Amino acid sequence: MLCANDMYRDSGFQPLTSNNFDSLLPKPDDWAVTKSSIYDVAALAGVSIATVSRTLNQPHRVSEATRARVMEAVQKLDYTPDFEAAARARHHNDRIAVLAPLNTYPGFTQRLRGISLVFEELQTELIIFQIDAQKLRNEQHSKYIESLATSGRYDGVIVMSLPIDAQELTRIAETHFPMVLIETSDSRFPTLKVDNKEGARLAVAHLLEKNYKNIGFIGFNALASYSTNGSKAREQGYIDTLLAAGRSVNPNHILISDYSIEDTYLKVKLMLSIPDRPDALFCASDINALGVLKAANELGLDIPKDLAVVGFDDIDIADYLGLTTVRQPLEGSGKEAAMLMDKLIKDPATIKPSQVLLPLELIVRTSS
Amino acid sequence: MLCANDMYRDSGFQPLTSNNFDSLLPKPDDWAVTKSSIYDVAALAGVSIATVSRTLNQPHRVSEATRARVMEAVQKLDYTPDFEAAARARHHNDRIAVLAPLNTYPGFTQRLRGISLVFEELQTELIIFQIDAQKLRNEQHSKYIESLATSGRYDGVIVMSLPIDAQELTRIAETHFPMVLIETSDSRFPTLKVDNKEGARLAVAHLLEKNYKNIGFIGFNALASYSTNGSKAREQGYIDTLLAAGRSVNPNHILISDYSIEDTYLKVKLMLSIPDRPDALFCASDINALGVLKAANELGLDIPKDLAVVGFDDIDIADYLGLTTVRQPLEGSGKEAAMLMDKLIKDPATIKPSQVLLPLELIVRTSS
DNA sequence: GTGAAAGCGCTAACAG
DNA sequence: CTGTTAGCGCTTTCAC
């Protein structure tokens, strides 16, 4: 049998094609149809692997006759190039990595979608790695991001809502590798985030303007898989705005619950039952706002007369429920991050620790 | 300068380390900190690369003295192995690919989460590829899945809600590569899906039992990025159940809208304004059901007295709204798929075209 | 216990 | 227009 590798490999001992090589090994899928490589195509067409590669990638640099023969071999062997190997050899990947925690926090998918929209157009492949804060804290994965960055397999990496070890960040910064952070702060990298305090100010100022007297705050505990939840900053913004307006902050009107409708509902029901109850509540997330709505509903409070409610995020359902809320760009932030990444890849010199603050917008509906 | 490659590479012309080699090229990141490879570690420790590899992977097979020296070099160079290269050389990846369209259809994230939960425990890496039906239809990507399967870079691939070219499926089937399909049917692969007709039967039977006389159906148009939306099958199930109960099907009580609250709302408002309006509506998705709720609300219809509403999916908000709906396992289906995949990888012989039907459950709330 | 070298599948620089 | 070969960074036989 004439083998492809007779010609191109120097194993003086035994000629090996990917075919007979496979048969030497105790492979479990011995019965599987073996994949043909560029060597097989070259052998069948009677040319070198370089010519096969050229035929596929730069057809114009190959004579028509050769091209025809190669293509025929490609057809016959049903050859599909290994694009990973190709990228490796090319030292250029057209592919970026996205690290993100997979959870149901609203906006996760939208953001991812925004990113994918941009890179689809740029013909850049998107590889999403599921990874959460807990995993990152794990010893074994302490260098996870760094190894992704230095692997040379990706043109860049976008990290979503994850806390990254400061040392690791430092090492990556030294490599000048294109990396964009979403919802995570670091002075050494381009970062995208929303101004949570400003968002809170927007909401509280609106409530003040509407003449509510006792404006309370509902925040949420950090999610285990997440880095920052923004709740803290929103609380601070709430306090600042209140104080700036000459109002006092009533600790009894501040409540932190889980990030769930149910937990918020239970806690807020109690809060709304105290004599000196708030007449307006700014919630750190729409999910919390839903809990508030449910509690108010059950207590027979009229929204917004007895109680005004303002949320944060503008999740799909907010419009349906008439919930006033602070909208943050989700798909938009993904696009923004992707376009920034594209620039960084094309011109690494532009890697500056720019901190982009995404625009926030108060959407007034019927709950306030 | 003594270079790592002097010893291990046969470039008779010029000794090259990954370091001085880099400096030869006009790299844009010339100033970047270069990553050290196993060759550098070997050189520094004065051993072969094989020994470095062994030290890291099978420490017991290396003498203590050598091990110490190698580890010191590793430390000094801050060496991190390239796990992609390692996997390649090892012919074993501990990593599977998940192909999924990134959209906001409920359940997408939950399913992904279910998958990731299982593989996290199995220490198997999860690479998620964003790819939708449109992309798949594209000439250029016609062999996308196949090339992933044959790349040898993944131990298996899970495909979510995507239509796959029959020919491609055939070729992949021939390779006996571990592949699991979610929400897509093919007799040659293990498949996970819900029995949409049965789900519809559950819903309609419930409405019949509650004595509703004119049960209508609200379906939705296929999403561009999706393969099957289930709406068609649910409609068929609705019709079958009605007929089996001796009821007639009123075409005026069947309406197909977009997959959006707003569009459903607009269309259903008209439908509910006809003289002979339905007194119950089974919706192919909760999103449609929300549109119905909104329309009914605006028309002053009492739910469930004037109009009963049953949805499908059981999205988060359904509970909050008291929506009766058909629940399908989402995180559960992801787990199921992952566990199936694990079995396939461990014992490829078990690859049978098993069609798993996931359990459906009617959750009765206040809307019916 | 350790080293040499093949091999993974391809691209690109260079030579002819 | 075509072939040769280094190189990507590692693991894994096979000798010594």
How confident is the prediction along chain B (368 residues), in pLDDT tens digits per residue? 223 333 333 332 222 233 333 333 333 333 345 678 999 999 999 999 999 999 999 999 999 999 999 999 999 998 888 888 888 888 878 889 998 887 766 677 888 889 988 988 887 888 888 887 777 777 666 677 887 887 778 889 999 988 888 888 888 888 888 899 998 888 889 999 899 999 999 999 999 999 999 999 999 997 655 556 789 999 999 999 999 999 999 999 999 999 989 999 999 999 999 999 999 999 999 999 999 999 999 999 999 999 999 999 998 889 989 999 999 998 899 999 999 999 888 876 766 778 899 999 999 999 99
What is the structure's pLDDT at A324?
98
Query: What would the two tokens of residue A69 be?
Result: 């023969």
Q: Is strand C less than 7 A from the beta carbon of A78?
A: no
Interchain proximity A78–B33, CB inside 8 Å: no
Q: Is strand C less than 7 A from the beta carbon of A256?
A: no
What is the structure's pLDDT at B322?
95
Q: Can you say how many angstroms the Cα of residue A176 is from the centroid of all Cα atoms in its chain?
A: 21
What is the structure's pLDDT at A120?
82
Which among A363, A358, A209 has a CA at the least distance from the CA of A286?
A: A363
CA-CA distance, A120 to B49, in Å (whole number)?
40
What is the structure's pLDDT at B311?
97
Token pair 């798929």 is at which residue?
B337
What is the structure's pLDDT at A150?
79
Interchain proximity A80–B146, CB inside 8 Å: yes
What is the structure's pLDDT at B199?
97
B7 touches chain A (CB under 8 A): no
Interchain proximity B316–A108, CB inside 8 Å: no
β-bridge mates for residue A220, sequence order: A257
Determine the residue among B18, B27, B33, B261 to mutate to test chain A binding: the one whose Cβ has the most chain A Cβ atoms within 10 Å. B33
The 10s digit of each residue's pLDDT in B23-80 is 333 333 333 456 789 999 999 999 999 999 999 999 999 999 999 999 999 999 988 8
Pairing of strands A308-313, A280-283: parallel
Q: Is strand C less than 7 A from the beta carbon of B152?
A: yes
| Chain B partners within 8 Å of A161 (Cβ) | none
CA quadruple B44, B50, B51, B53: dihedral sign: positive
Chain A residues 197-256 with a CB less than 8 Å from chain B: none
How confident is the prediction along chain A (368 residues), in pLDDT tens digits per residue? 223 333 333 332 222 233 333 333 333 333 345 678 999 999 999 999 999 999 999 999 999 999 999 999 999 998 888 888 898 888 888 889 998 887 766 677 888 889 988 988 887 888 888 887 777 777 666 677 887 887 778 889 999 988 888 888 888 888 888 999 998 888 889 999 899 999 999 999 999 999 999 999 999 997 655 556 789 999 999 999 999 999 999 999 999 999 989 999 999 999 999 999 999 999 999 999 999 999 999 999 999 999 999 999 998 889 989 999 999 998 899 999 999 999 888 876 766 778 899 999 999 999 99
Q: Is strand C less than 7 A from the beta carbon of B18?
A: no
3-state secondary structure of A149: helix
What is the structure's pLDDT at B230?
85
- The answer to whether the bond into A359 is cis (omega within 30° of 0) is no
Query: What would the two tokens of residue B75 be?
Result: 């430390």
Distance from CA of B32 to the nearest CA of A (A): 5
Among A35, A153, A174, the residue with its CB nearest the CB of B150 is: A35
Q: Which residues, including other chains, have CB under 8 Å from residue B332's CB and lie 6 or more apart?
A: B114, B358
CA at B18, C1' at C15: how many angstroms apart?
25
What is the structure's pLDDT at B226?
57
Q: Could you tell me the end-to-end alpha-carbon distance of chain A, in angstroms, rounded to an integer?
A: 82
Chain A residues 24-43 with a CB less than 8 Å from chain B: 28-29, 31-33, 35
What is the structure's pLDDT at A312?
95
β-bridge mates for residue B357, sequence order: B193
Among A116, A152, A261, the residue with its CB nearest the CB of B102 is: A116
Tell if the pTM clears 0.75, that is, is over it: yes
